[in-house]
Amino acid sequence: MIRIKRRWELPAREVTPEPIYRQRRKFIRAGAIGALAMTPGAKALASIQIDEYRKGAITLDDKLTDEEDATSYNNFYEFGTDKEDPKRNSQRFDTDDWTIQVGGECARPGTYALEDLVKPHPIEERIYRLRCVEAWSMVIPWLGVPLASVLKAFEPNANAKYVAFRTLHDPERMPGQRRAVITWPYREGLTIAEAMHPLTLLGVGMYGKTMPNQNGAPIRLVVPWKYGFKSIKSIVGIEFTEQQPQTSWNMMQPGEYGFYSNVNPEVDHPRWSQKRERRIGEFFKRETLMFNGYGEEVAELYDDIDLRVNF
Amino acid sequence: MSLAAALKSAWSKPLLHALCLLPLLLLVFGLFADSLGANPVETLTHETGQWALRLLLVTLAMTPLQQWSGIAAWVRFRRMLGLYAFFYVVCHFSIWLVFDHSLDLAAMLEDIVERPYITLGFSALLLLIPLAATSTRAMIRRLGRRWKSLHRLVYAITALAVLHFLWLVKADYLEAGIYAIIATTLLLFRLQPVRRLASRTSAPTR
């Protein structure tokens, strides 16, 4: 392979524990505004502090994607449509005091602080394949909590057939939203069975650290058997619905992006093949696996539907 | 030195050669320096494709430039620019064949038949071959009048190339749209009434 690594320069983050360098950045920022603002303990430093997590709760034999690649090659149109845009344009994105609005068919609707949703549950490290609809893929060690355990706390009722998710809509903070590339806010959805599936994760970090802004800080979905765009980022709204919710890519191109969007090498995107994918870090393409390799766990969810029709 | 003299000077063509080869050199350098991003194959594919299209448009700009400026020397660069456009198209195609299809010709043909945007791109490549093959002085002389008709194919090729780009856009049409507008402008210029209008508004100084 013709790939010469030039990464001898050890970034500061590799020799400094994360809470400390985050604090340092925070301090520098606070200092710019005025040293008075920096009262110790006045406010939680980051929305989510990851002090400990269960290492290797779910692992894979696949080689991990280089962290630098996973954090600099992103589809997150809220920060621009080029792959390098999210990293460049999200550095000052402030996720402190993040809240999530919960509503719809459940007994406990309301506005919840991010910490209150995540803290009751132990954080797990799970290594998942990520397959983008654009035919590239990564292998990422996520940190998060099962979505099911968070959702159950809201006590969804019998009418809750689907869960709808919404990304923050704030063009001031998300410069990509100043252009109407898609209809903001970004929307996604799952069936209740998909949402409650043990593989479905609410991600709050990756590579042992808090979620980088460009990867969907502070909290995002990770649904490893579906195309990446289903794993909605920077979530501010969760709603239990009886009807199938609208989802952004499906609203834009219903013939190309279905509600389910399960990874399926047998069903091509109308404009390109989904049979193969390029694993980031590799030059040649490899075969794409049915349900991204999670068929054993999730295929039964789709026993009763035709995946060619419900793509 | 006047612009006309500069364009006619002995170093104008070597300089243009260097400029046309620069994108390729930067890509090769980037490949070995690992600076083409997380997906270097995609970067190579997109960059060679875009340079092919840019050079095609620059080629098409030579005749209008000649007419607007009244400097005949612009046309001296047309063949060279066209051949470089062809060269970048061949790079673009080869990268796709090698890295996307691992040289599997059957898979490549299936893609060409089934994916309209690839059909368009591949047609543009095929149509460029006779133009490149008849770009020598001897062929120009041999084909005479027919040479000019044959080389009008470049208009169709440009349209195919722009459509090839537009057709693979997922949501953001800005970049491909800019190419489409430039291409349309250059093609409109080929229409008699438009050209007459343009030459009237800018009085050439000879």
A4 to chain B, any CB pair closer than 8 A? The answer is yes
Give the pLDDT mean for A145-149.
97
Which residues in B lie closer than 8 A to residue A179 (C-beta atoms)?
172, 174
Could you tell me which residues come within 8 angstroms of residue A227 by beta carbon, excluding any fewer than 6 positions away? A131, A132, A133, A257, A261, A262, A263
B38–A66 CB contact, under 8 Å: yes
At residue A17, does pLDDT exceed 60?
Answer: no
Distance from CA of A265 to the nearest CA of B (A): 15
At residue B175, does pLDDT exceed 50?
Answer: yes
Q: Which of B31, B37, B41 sits opposite A84 (nearest CB)?
A: B37
Q: Of 2.120.10.90, 3.90.420.10, 1.10.3720.10, 3.90.550.10, which CATH number belongs to A50-302?
A: 3.90.420.10
- The 3-state DSSP class for residue B110 equals helix
Tell me which residue range forms the domain holding B195: 11-200
pLDDT (0 to 100) of residue A29? 41
Domain boundaries, chain A: 1-45, 50-302
At residue A1, does pLDDT exceed 60?
Answer: no
A4–B32 CB contact, under 8 Å: yes
- A180-214 residue pLDDT tens: 999 999 999 999 999 999 999 999 999 999 999 99
At residue A28, does pLDDT exceed 70?
Answer: no
A280–B40 CB contact, under 8 Å: no
Confidence grade of residue B127 (pLDDT, cut at 50, 70, 90): very high
Residue A270's CB is within 10 A of a number of other CB atoms, namely 12
Q: Which of A5, A136, A182 sits opposite B34 (nearest CB)?
A: A5
Asked if residue B205 belongs to a domain, the reply is: no
Q: Which of B32, B99, B111 sits opposite A283 (nearest CB)?
A: B99
What is the Cα–Cα distance from B60 to B131, expressed in whole angstroms? 14
Confidence grade of residue A71 (pLDDT, cut at 50, 70, 90): very high
At residue A27, does pLDDT exceed 70?
Answer: no
Confidence grade of residue B201 (pLDDT, cut at 50, 70, 90): low
- The 3-state DSSP class for residue A262 equals strand
B99–A2 CB contact, under 8 Å: no
10 Å CB burial of residue B144 (0-12, 13-18, 19+) is exposed
Q: How many domains does chain B have?
A: 1
pLDDT (0 to 100) of residue A13? 45
B102 to chain A, any CB pair closer than 8 A? The answer is yes
Asked if residue B163 belongs to a domain, the reply is: yes
Asked if residue B4 belongs to a domain, the reply is: no
pTM over 0.90: no
At residue A36, does pLDDT exceed 70?
Answer: no
What is the Cα–Cα distance from B126 to B105, expressed in whole angstroms? 16
In contact, A161 and A242? CB cutoff 8 Å: yes
One-letter identity of residue A45: L
At residue A43, does pLDDT exceed 60?
Answer: no
Distance from CA of A118 to the nearest CA of B (A): 31
pLDDT (0 to 100) of residue B128? 98
Give the pLDDT mean for A113-140.
96
Indicate the average pLDDT of chain A: 88
A60 to chain B, any CB pair closer than 8 A? The answer is no
Nearest CA in chain B to A133: B170
Task: Give the torsion through C-alpha atoms of B182, B185, B186, B192, to 10 deg.
Answer: 180
One-letter identity of residue A256: E
Asked if residue B161 belongs to a domain, the reply is: yes
Which among B27, B104, B170 is the top mutation candidate for probing chain A, defined by the most A β-carbons within 10 Å of its own β-carbon? B170
Distance from CA of B58 to the nearest CA of A (A): 25
